[in-house]
Chain A
Amino acid sequence: MDEVLFPLRLSLQVSLVATLLLTALTLPLALVFARRRFPGRGLLEVVFSLPLVLPPTVLGYYLVVVFGQRGILGGWLQQALGWTPMFNWWGAVLASMVVAFPLLFHSALAALSTVDRNLEQAAYTLGASPWRTFWRVTLPLAQRGIMAGVVLAFARALGEFGATLMIAGNIPGRTNTMPLAIYGAFMGGDLTQAHWLVLIQTLIALLVLLVARRGQGRSWR
């Protein structure tokens, strides 16, 4: 039973944490891209789309280059904090964040770009700070598109396989998320376990998409 429950619990934990962190990082970035013109903006947008088209193994490779024990950041993190995302569930979080990033970024950018600048400026003339304006005006008006991006990112994180394998490995009881556990069970010939995992993964994906649909019908327009 644990062979099924652990990957399920781990997948949900990884996807949830990855989606929350990703949302906190991506929204300010998308807001800057929606509001400012600066040199290199178009190039960056293209770079930000790379995770959509690169094989996840390539992304995983880059993650190891950055966060590996001899990596650009990884060496420093290991020395300063004694922390590494290699071969533990944080590696899976990083992998999920990278692959899900373009989905959230582009949804959020599109949603934020449609918010009428006059409304934000009206809020300023009524005394609202940029912070209050963002929470009371910009975000509520863009929430439908942003939520669609968040749900998409969560669904993508749940299905992440290749980059996770590269950085976190497939360690039973440690880093075997659902997709990795399915692969392990299938390759190990445990088809009953593979059946169950596949069924659960499919049901969760279905549930996420249904929630996304409902969320869209419920917003203010």
Chain B
Amino acid sequence: MALTAPPTPVLELSLTKRLGAFSLDVTLTAHSRRLVIWGHSGAGKSLTLRMIAGLAQPDAGRLAVEGRVLHDSQAQVSLSPQTRGVGLVFQDFALFPHYTVAQNLAFGLGRAPEAAEKVKAMARRMEVERLLNQRPAQLSGGQRQRVALGRALLAQPRLLLLDEPFSSLDSGLRARLRQEFADMVKGLDLPIILVTHDPEDVRALAQGVAIFRQGRCQGASPLPRALRLSPPPPDDLLPYLEQAS
């Protein structure tokens, strides 16, 4: 009888960090390829995301993505943000204001061959091909978001992080953009982790959900199927998340 090894988790992390009065101590093992980290503001979600990307150093702990160790305090291993293969779409998108859309998209390509073709193809995929010569200040919120996503993807990450991707969009557009964005992200062939305080993001995107509260998280669980159906019964998700936290 063949024994099948348990599948490697997409994300395994156990990290602690102290910042003044705030202390973060999270343990999380996730098998979902679309994980949403949900919690109120100040729960330590963004800090955790930044530690996964290598932009903040934990005081202690271990972090592995699909079995690849990115940080291990005991073994004194900590990969730089440049070598982690982790893409991050910032909350405010962090597009370079002095570069055009094309230059922003190309930034992570370096001197890769056929960079121009890759930029064009990505622009087509993100539906920003007519904006290639514009600067970020001339774009709408949704366009900026797609440029930021395209820019992160062109650097060929093994994991994509999204920090509150809809919070800086105005509320009228948010629902439509969320749906479009969800469809786009679901077509990606890489694991994603999205951080949000909005239960609607959980509904639109999550396969699994990890709930953060005051710097703690006890792990991730698959989101119950009933809560993923759309259109959902109103307001059932928040009580579920609140209760779970």
Contacts and interface: CB of A to CB of B under 8 A. Distances in A.
A129 B94 contact: no
A122 interface: yes
Interface of B: 53-55, 80-82, 84, 86-88, 90, 92, 94, 96-98, 107-108, 110, 151-152, 155
Given A127-B155, A128-B108, A137-B96, 11 more contacts: A118-B90, A119-B94, A124-B80, A125-B84, A125-B87, A125-B88, A126-B151, A127-B82, A127-B108, A136-B107, A220-B98
A126 B107 contact: yes
A125 B86 contact: yes
A137 B151 CA distance: 15
Interface string A149-187: 000000000000000000000000000000000000000
A123 interface: yes
Interface size class of A (residues with CB under 8 A): 10 to 19
Interface in A80-129: 116, 118-119, 121-129
A121 B81 contact: yes
B97 A129 contact: no
29 contacts: A118-B90, A118-B92, A118-B94, A119-B94, A121-B81, A121-B94, A122-B88, A122-B96, A123-B96, A123-B107, A124-B54, A124-B80, A125-B53, A125-B82, A125-B87, A125-B88, A125-B155, A126-B107, A126-B152, A126-B155, A127-B82, A127-B110, A127-B155, A128-B107, A129-B82, A136-B107, A137-B96, A141-B98, A220-B98
A113 to B, nearest CB: 16
A122 B94 contact: yes
A1 B119 CA distance: 60
B81 A125 contact: yes
Interface string A131-142: 000001100110
B39 to A, nearest CB: 21
B98 A128 contact: no
A123 B98 CA distance: 13
User: How would you classify the secondary structure of chain B's contact residues: helix, strand, loop or mixed?
Assistant: loop
B97 A141 contact: yes
B20 to A, nearest CB: 14
A116 B82 CA distance: 19
A128 B55 contact: no
A124 B55 contact: yes
Contacts of A128: 82, 107-108
Contacts of A127: 82, 108, 110, 155
Contacts of B82: 124-125, 127-129
A127 B151 CA distance: 12
Nearest to A122: B94
Nearest to A133: B82
A136 to B, nearest CB: 8
Contacts of B90: 118, 121-122
Given A125-B81, A128-B82, A119 B96 contact: yes
Interface string A55-98: 00000000000000000000000000000000000000000000
Contacts of A136: 107
B110 to A, nearest CB: 7
Contact of B55 (A121, A129, A220): A121
A136 B109 CA distance: 14
B71 to A, nearest CB: 15
A218 to B, nearest CB: 13
B128 to A, nearest CB: 17
Most buried by B among A118, A122, A127: A122
A221 to B, nearest CB: 8
Contacts of A118: 90, 92, 94
A155 B158 CA distance: 52
